[in-house]
Amino acid sequence: MEKLADLNRAALYKRLDKVQKESELYVALDLIDTLSMQKERDRRLINNYSDSEMVTLKTSRKGRTKMVRMFTLAGIEKYLYEGRVYDYENACSYFGIKPKNKLTENFEMDIKSMQRPDCACSVATYDTKKMLKWLFGKRKSCKELGDQMTIDTLLKRFGDSDEVITERMQFLLSKK
């Protein structure tokens, strides 16, 4: 299995070596064609990049002058995180970028969306119905918890349950 992972990494590195570049700038469309699983979406995505992330250069090829958009390292980092990239971890290691854990960031955003804004106490409270649906993957009710609850009360009540989605329970345990 490890040989297969090494072969995949080597093949990706070989394709990335073929991407046109000038010093630390990489041709954006070549990089997207190499890495993207959804090329059209990613080409639209880079239209909003700032000047520090994307540079436009004039190049002469075959007697024609052409404007080419180039990624800086900051732009590559942003694209790898936002784009639909094939083999994210190996692409990050090629460019020397520390990969982010997208799953935990999504869990963090989900938890923040369920937080009750009207809470005046120092401990964050969450909407019980939404939190149980997120944790179990289906609608569930527990009258014992009430309309709002904290993560500690949720863990005390359902911490040893086999019905919960394990990745989400591990995330809640790490937040404790």
Contact (CB, 8 A) for 135 and 114: no
From CA 160, how far away is CA 47, in angstroms rounded?
Answer: 47
Q: Are 10 and 55 contained in the same domain?
A: yes
- Domain count of the fold of the chain: 2
Integer Cα distance of 83 and 80 in angstroms: 6
Assess whether 108 and 153 both reside in one domain.
yes
- Which structural domain, as residue segments, surrounds residue 120? 102-175
Same domain assignment for residues 114 and 146? yes
pLDDT tier at 38, thresholds 50, 70, 90: very high
Q: Is the pTM of this model over 0.75?
A: no
Residues 56 and 84 in one domain: yes
In the prediction, which pLDDT does 120 show?
Answer: 56
Domain boundary (43, 74, 95) is at 95
Residues 78 and 43 in one domain: yes
Grade residue 122 by pLDDT with cuts at 50, 70 and 90: low
**pLDDT score at 40:** 93
Q: Are residues 29 and 80 in the same domain?
A: yes
Determine which helix (DSSP H) or strand (DSSP E) holds 36, and give its type and residue range.
Answer: none
Q: Which of 33, 65, 95 finishes a domain? A: 95
Are 78 and 32 in a shared domain?
yes
Residue 68 DSSP label: E
Q: Are residues 70 and 126 in the same domain?
A: no
My answer on whether 32 and 114 are in the same domain is: no
With a cut of 70, say whether residue 86 has pLDDT above it. Answer: yes
Distance (Å, whole) CA 167 – CA 174: 11
What percent of the chain shows pLDDT beyond 90? 24
Q: Which of 95, 123, 149 is the last residue of a domain?
A: 95
The answer on pLDDT for 111 being more than 80 is: yes
pLDDT tens-digit map of 123-157:
778 888 888 888 888 888 878 888 888 888 888 88
Q: Do both 106 and 164 map to the same domain? A: yes
Q: Report angle CA 145, 151, 152 to the nearest 5 degrees.
A: 85
Q: Specify whether 18 is located in the same domain as 52.
A: yes
Confidence of residue 119 (pLDDT cuts 50, 70, 90): low
Q: How confident is the model at residue 8 (pLDDT cuts 50, 70, 90)?
A: confident
Let me know whether 70 and 130 are in one domain. no
